[in-house]
Amino acid sequence: MIETVATTAYDDQKPGTSGLRKKVPVFRQPNYVENFIQSIFDTIGDCAGKTLVIGGDGRYYNREVVDIAIRMAVAAGFGRLIVGAGGILSTPAASNIIRRHGAIGGIVLSASHNPGGPTEDFGIKFNTANGGPAPEKVTEAIFARTQTIERYMISRQAGVDVDQIGSTRLDQTQVEIIDPVADYAALMETLFDFGRIAELFGSGFRMAFDAMHAVTGPYAKEILEKRLGAPAGTVRNFKPLPDFGGHHPDPNLVHARALYEEMMGEGAPDFGAASDGDGDRNLIIGRGIFVTPSDSLAVLAANAHLAPGYSGGLKGIARSMPTSAAADRVADKLGIGIYETPTGWKFFGNLLDAGMATICGEESAGTGSDHVREKDGLWAVLLWLNILAARGQSAREIVEAHWREYGRNYYSRHDYEGLDAEAANGLMEALRAELGSLPGRAIAGLEVAAADDFAYHDPVDGSVARNQGIRILFEGGSRIVLRLSGTGTSGATLRVYLERYEAAPDRLALDTQAALADLIAAAEAVAGIRARTGRDAPTVIT
């Protein structure tokens, strides 16, 4: 039985950097979830006979929304639903399934690395037929629809048991509950030399993978321990929990501190890694060395040809604007294109679809390739393992050799979280107003070469995205970028990105914060962060 339910619009269903993200109590308001999902279906248009993928990162409220999404998709007339067992699909696995099964798109439930629980974060993301996050023109259409919606449709028939792998017919819809891991693991086997990585583990190589009680646990167990033969216990915190064990499932130096300390200490394993709530981010720590995501992108790009899936070379590299220029040097050397996009994976989709880029990355611990249309945490870890196995060197040796060859881009991000939104907007507005007068001025002893508010002209579809972050470029190639987060669910987060390039062989092993000290001072001088926000230190330094 399909019921048409009258509803009234909410005015705050505007998707941000990565889908609609709010606190659970916001999603629990009457018809809030239903309005948004119906708006997605109304934007797709005719859903009859089409295939839709549904799954999420297993966080609190995931099961309830999976059930609602299935019922509404049946009511919308989809021909086939592919749902991860237990309502589970990592973000990259969902992207792969959409592509592999010719789906029109997928509903991916996740708030990524944000905490989960009854008063924590939840999110709904729509991915399109290429497997990637919906581009802005689609998210804008969905948002427009949420503002006028007056009804939604839902099936009141008995639902399906999402824990039971198998296929059930509900009205005209075939609902398939699938193993969330199988397709993804098979894809990884086509990209990487599993035999060689297994030999590495066979030779006594020790690894620590922290799944942070998030969605990657089952994927990492299957691939690292079962297929590659890593010793049991290699994958830690592998059981996905609705509240991620009370932690932030964010693989950075703050929330994965224990792993970091272990990797820097006596008797550390050879290689450490972690991934986030929905499995698209990665953290890479070699014994005695944290690899910044920007450096990781550069090292992976420079060595990707060592993995079978990339042995033919790369078509190009894309990075988000705030990501360091380390990858640019690799692209130059390889003689391939380098693209600088706004923050957010959705901007890579066109470049990947057009065959202009093979590998993409963001400083926020996101790396991926054209194998799917999302960043992919475990993929990055497996590519690292493939490179370690092929080169027979440690992560530290590889990174240090990279710096000797290309120079080092010292890089750090300072986040100020939970700011008063008005104060944060005021800071950005004041900076914008000053941009024209900055070039030529000296700030904290550094001379400004150029300053702008980054605008991206998509070379594939010609679309333009403006106001994507303020860049202050100094003589000599150092820079500061400031932007406000588009993924937060309360207050505002100011991100300050700092970068300096060093090529002198005796200056490659400095302490990062010390190497960036003058840029940190310049950011304070130009933006007045202390005075405007009342904070005298960042909340998180990565």
Interface positions with Zn ion (CB under 5 A): 112, 276, 278, 280-281
In this complex, which beta carbon is closest to ligand G1P, that of residue 237 or of residue 275? Answer: 275
CA separation, residue 357 to residues 342, 364, 439 (Å): 15, 19, 32
Contact predicate 347/320, CB 8 Å: yes
Please provide the DSSP assignment of 121-133 as one string: EEEEEEEETTSSB
How many Cα neighbours within 13 Å face the side chain of 3?
10
User: Does the protein bind ligand G1P through residue 367 (CB under 6 A)?
Assistant: no
Give the nearer residue to Zn ion in terms of CB position, either 112 or 252.
112
Residue 18: which of ligand G1P, Zn ion, none does it interact with, CB under 5 to 8 A by kind? ligand G1P
From 123, 217, 309, 344, residue interacting with ligand G1P (rule: CB under 6 A): 344
Dist CA 408 CA 398 (whole Å): 13
Binding site partner of 364, from Zn ion, ligand G1P, none, Cβ cut-off 5-8 A by kind: ligand G1P
Phi and psi dihedrals of 427, rounded to 5? Answer: -60, -45
Q: Which residue is nearest to ligand G1P (CB)?
A: 485
The length of the chain in residues reads 542
- The distance of closest approach from Cβ of residue 272 to Zn ion in the complex, given in angstroms and rounded to an integer, is 19
Is 369 one of the catalytic residues? no
Nearest to ligand G1P of 309, 366 (CB atom): 366
- Structure-token pair, residue 195: 């035999």
SS3 state of residue 275: strand
Question: Which residue is associated with the tokens 């679309």?
Answer: 463
Q: How far apart are CA 176 and CA 158, in angstroms?
A: 15
Closest approach, Cβ 374 to Zn ion, in A, equals 9
Least distance between ligand G1P and beta carbon 185 (Å): 23
Q: How many chain residues are in contact with ligand G1P, going by CB under 6 A?
A: 14
Q: Calculate helix-pair angle for 377-391, 182-191, nearest 10 degrees.
A: 30
> Rounded to an integer, what distance in angstroms lies between the CA atom of residue 164 and that of residue 166?
6
Map tokens 């509404």 to a residue. 72
Contact at 8 Å (CB) between 530 and 416? Answer: no
Q: Which amino acid is at 514?
A: A
Closer residue to ligand G1P in complex, CB, 375/500: 375
| Cβ–Cβ < 8 Å for 342, 483 | no
Evaluate whether 227 touches 185 at the Cβ level (below 8 Å): yes
The option from ligand G1P, Zn ion, none interacting with 21 (CB < 5 to 8 A, set by class) reads none
Q: What's the helix, strand, coil split of the chain in %, to 5? A: 35, 25, 35
Amino acid symbol at 249: P
Q: With respect to Zn ion, which residue has the nearer C-beta, 62 or 155?
A: 62
- The smaller minimum CB distance to Zn ion, of residues 94 and 451, is found at 94
Stretch binding ligand G1P (CB under 6 A), from 255-263, 283-291, 341-349, 518-526: 341-349
Nearest to ligand G1P of 321, 395 (CB atom) = 321
Phi, psi of 533 (to 5 degrees): -110, -15
Of the chain, the end-to-end C-alpha distance in Å amounts to: 52
Q: Using the rule CB under 6 A, is 139 a contact of ligand G1P?
A: no
Report what 276 binds from Zn ion, ligand G1P, none; CB cut-off 5-8 Å by kind: Zn ion
CB 367 to Zn ion: min, Å? 12
Show contacts with ligand G1P in window 110-129 (CB under 6 A): 112
Tell me the H-state helices in 101-193: 136-146, 182-191
Binder of residue 278, out of ligand G1P, Zn ion, none (CB less than 5 to 8 A by kind): Zn ion
Nearest to ligand G1P of 210, 363 (CB atom) = 363
Q: Which of 173, 282, 343, 468 binds ligand G1P (CB under 6 A)?
A: 343
Taking CB under 6 A as the criterion, which residues in 174-203 touch ligand G1P?
none
Q: Does 487 bind ligand G1P (CB under 6 A)?
A: yes
SS3 257: helix
Q: How far is the CB of 345 from ligand G1P (least distance, A)?
A: 5
Indicate the helix (H) or strand (E) that contains 23: strand 20-23
**Can you tell me which of 219, 345, 347, 379 binds ligand G1P, judged by CB under 6 A?**
345
> Residue 528, interface with ligand G1P (CB under 6 A)?
no
Contact pattern from residue 30 through residue 49 relative to ligand G1P, giving x for each residue in contact according to CB under 6 A and a dash for the rest: --------------------
18 contacts ligand G1P (rule: CB under 6 A) = yes
CB 191 within 8 A of CB 111: no
Q: Specify the 3-state DSSP secondary structure of 233.
A: coil
x/- string (CB under 6 A) for ligand G1P, residues 290-329?
------------------------------x---------
Catalytic-labelled residue, pool 90, 95, 112, 294: 112
Catalytic residues: 112
Interface residues toward ligand G1P, by CB under 6 A: 17-18, 112, 320, 343-345, 362, 364, 366, 485-487, 495
